[in-house]
Amino acid sequence: MKKIAFLLVSLLLLGSVAANAQGVIVKAGFNYTNASSVQDLKSGKTGWQFGAGFQTESWTGFSLQPELVYKVKGVTLEDATKVSMNYVELPVNIQWGPDLLIARPFIFASPFLGYNIGTKFSKETTLADTINRNFHRFEYGLGLGLGINVWKLQITGKYNWNFGQITTWSDAQANVKGLDPAAKTFEICVGLKFF
């Protein structure tokens, strides 16, 4: 029920700006996640994402682009367990850039909220079980990025900081702490604008 309520609220927030939208954007891309403070973390993991948003008209170079995005992120643990985390995120991109007629390069800040709708582990281990039992569903953070609009095409690169912990657990004997409270994700996306 919580998942459905979150999705409905997200859609209503996006719909509230639709009347002022300059264009609807459908986008997809790849991301790489790292959560470096875990002793048992071997490496980050490449994931993917897709979603849609609205871009408002530019006013003195500024525009807003709220989005609803489905993301698959993850990490790989030392015991080779792959952790895949599925999120629904609501970023609001605050863009600024000059209109150069044939293109519009821009920089942007992107505060976001997210909700984990499922986590999968490639194999069952004690560490995976501990992480799963102490998992936090909500996330929030900030992204900073660069992008360019050319005709109906939008290309963006963004670096996200998650300010909330992914889990809260610890094992003093194993000297293991919860996943990094500032998990970082780099993403590259391509979008197509309609209207």
Asked if 7 and 32 touch (Cβ cutoff 8 Å), the reply is no
As a residue count, the chain comes to: 195
Asked if 115 and 88 touch (Cβ cutoff 8 Å), the reply is yes
Residue 18: phi and psi, rounded to 5, are -60, -35
Q: Using alpha carbons only, give the angle 132, 133, 136 rounded to the nearest 5 degrees.
A: 75
| Greatest extent of the chain over all pairs of C-alpha atoms, in Å | 61
Distance CA 37, CA 181 (A): 8
Q: Identify the pLDDT of residue 75.
A: 78
pLDDT in tens, 139-187: 899 999 999 999 999 999 999 998 877 766 555 444 445 555 557 899 9
Q: Identify the pLDDT of residue 136.
A: 77
Q: Where are the domains of the chain?
A: 2-194
Q: Tell me if the domain spanning 2-194 has CATH number 2.140.10.10.
A: no
Distance CA 88, CA 185 (A): 15
Q: Identify the pLDDT of residue 123.
A: 81
- Cα torsion 112, 32, 73, 163: sign: negative
Nearest to 163 by CA among 128, 121, 125, 111: 111
**What stretches in the chain show pLDDT beneath 70?**
1-21, 35-43, 126-128, 130-134, 167-182
Q: Identify the pLDDT of residue 166.
A: 72
Partner residues linked to 188 by β-bridges: 30, 157
Token reading at 20 = 């002022």
Nearest to 183 by CA among 145, 140, 153: 140
The answer for residues whose C-beta is within 8 angstroms of residue 100's C-beta and 6 or more apart is none
Q: Using alpha carbons only, give the angle 58, 62, 65 rounded to the nearest 5 degrees.
A: 80
